[in-house]
Amino acid sequence: MEFPFDLAPVLGPERFCVVDQHLRPAGRGGGGGAEREQQLEQRLRTVIDELGKASAKAQGLSTPVTSAARMESNRHVLYMLRDTRPPRGAVLGFLKVGYKKLFLLDQDGSHVEVEPLCVLDFYVHESQQRRGLGRELFREMLQRERMAPQRLAVDRPSPKLLGFLDKHFGLCRPIPQVNNFVIFEGFFSTRTGGF
Ligand code: ACO
């Protein structure tokens, strides 16, 4: 996804750009004065809003799950994957995660209150899907969050995401839930790290 401005000053120089509620990418340089800062933040808002809209469209949702305003009011983390080639670069996709308190059913059907890391929104540009970019984004997130894939809860996964999780992480046996979240075998295991 391309934008009518150079993405490097907005998102920083790296292939991965990580943004939280402060909307200030780690690699973004300072300097240039308050006006320049304001312009960069406005551009970052545009990038996040447009990505959110594209993801919603791809999933057939009427309202985007991801926007700059939503990022500011939640403690979510947005991982963006970029093509850094000049002149302007492009955003190839994004993955949004965050911790949420959930009541989940374990294998015995008992309610358990947990606060897992949740996959909230995930999108790779239509022209770039099925090239391994989704896996690259997901692996980067797991590494930075120090998380095992089976410890994640997934909010309303699309059929494509279910196929993706099965293919790359062997997550194929969901534990049925009454809410929209999906968890997989191994979620409640005490042998792996997590919440
Ligand atoms: N149809 C079926 N499965 C697909 C498709 C597709 N069109 N695209 C990707 N997949 C799954 C398959 O398992 C595929 O393996 P295969 O090609 O051998 O069948 C695997 O993903 C490919 O892995 P990657 O190339 O690493 O994944 P990709 O870069 O395509 O990203 C993603 C996966 C993010 C799900 C992407 O397909 C996408 O943006 N889809 C549209 C939006 C969407 O459904 N997002 C998830 C919403 S639910 C949520 O966010 C909680």
Instruction: Tell me how far the alpha carbon of residue 36 lies from the centroid of ligand 1, in angstroms.
Output: 37
Give the residue-averaged pLDDT of 104-118: 93
192 falls within a domain:
no
194 falls within a domain:
no
Quick check: 195 pLDDT over 50? no
Between CA 45 and CA 98 the distance in angstroms is 19
- The CATH number assigned to the domain holding 163 equals 3.40.630.30
16 falls within a domain:
yes
193 falls within a domain:
no
Domain total in the chain: 1
89, 82 contact by CB (below 8 A): yes
Is 164 near ligand 1, meaning CB less than 6 Å away? yes
Q: How confident is the model at residue 191 (pLDDT cuts 50, 70, 90)?
A: low
Q: Kindly give the number of the ligand 1 atom that is closest to the alpha carbon of 130.
A: 25
Instruction: Tell me how far the alpha carbon of residue 3 lies from the centroid of ligand 1, in angstroms.
Output: 23
149, 142 contact by CB (below 8 A): yes
146-186 pLDDT tens trace: 999 999 999 999 999 999 999 999 999 898 898 999 999 99
Pairing of strands 117-124, 153-155: parallel
| 119 backbone dihedrals φ, ψ, rounded to 5° | -85, 115
Complex confidence, ipTM: 0.98
Instruction: Tell me how far the alpha carbon of residue 58 lies from the centroid of ligand 1, in angstroms.
Output: 11
Instruction: Report the amino acid identity of residue 149.
Output: P
Residue nearest (by alpha carbon) to ligand 1 atom 50: 121
Q: Kindly give the number of the ligand 1 atom that is closest to the alpha carbon of 128.
A: 29
Between CA 120 and CA 5 the distance in angstroms is 28
The CB density around residue 179, as the number of other CB atoms within 10 Å, is 12
Domain containing 159: what range?
A: 8-184
Residue nearest (by alpha carbon) to ligand 1 atom 27: 134
Q: Write the DSSP symbol of residue 151.
A: G
29-73 pLDDT tens trace: 667 788 999 999 999 999 999 999 999 999 999 999 999 999 999
Instruction: Tell me how far the alpha carbon of residue 159 lies from the centroid of ligand 1, in angstroms.
Output: 8
- pLDDT score recorded for residue 33: 86
Is 27 near ligand 1, meaning CB less than 6 Å away? no
